Amino acid sequence: MAARFAVILSLAAFSLFACRAPDGIPAQLGRVVTLHYTLKSGDAFAASTETKGAVTVRLGNNDGLLVGLRKGLLGMKPGEERAFNIAPEEGFSDGPWKGILLQARVKIEAVRIEEK
């Protein structure tokens, strides 16, 4: 009985350690973030950095990211991955993806604080 309890306790401790948040500073407005992302609707891909390489941006209104993508990655730390939806009003403002609910998958490579 004691051995079984020790195994259960060890597994619980391991899963807590394995699920802890990545170390590093979080993505916030004004910080420089390097990331990979994929945007799609259903099975159709709208945009992706997977074939072009990671992008690096200073998070803010003029970073070139969709509003919903920027909002979704705030608070993420290097090494963290997240999947979330982007509402049509926070997605593309024109073109074939305008007004479409998008599914986003993001992985943060690096976050740094850079003096202006």
Domain 25-112 has CATH 3.40.1390.30: no
Q: Which residue has the higher pLDDT, 108 or 8?
A: 108
**Mapping DSSP to helix (H, G, I), strand (E, B) and coil, where does residue 60 land?**
coil
Question: Taking the C-alpha atoms of 58, 61, 64 and 67 in order, what is their torsion angle to the nearest 10 degrees?
Answer: 110
Measured in degrees and rounded to the nearest 5, phi and psi for residue 53 equal: 105, 165
Residue 1's pLDDT is 52
pLDDT digits (tens, 9 = 90+) for 11-60: 444 444 444 445 799 999 999 999 999 999 999 999 999 899 999 999 99
Domain ranges of the chain: 25-112
Q: In the structure, what pLDDT confidence band is assigned to residue 107 with cuts at 50, 70 and 90?
A: very high
| Range with lowest mean pLDDT among 5-9, 38-42, 65-69, 72-76 | 5-9
Amino acid at 75: G
103 neighbors 28 (Cβ within 8 angstroms): no
Tell me the whole-structure pTM to 2 decimals. Answer: 0.78
CA distances from 39 to 11, 57, 75, 101 (A): 36, 17, 19, 10
Residue 82's pLDDT is 98
Q: In the structure, what pLDDT confidence band is assigned to residue 116 with cuts at 50, 70 and 90?
A: low
Give residue for tokens 């090494």. 79
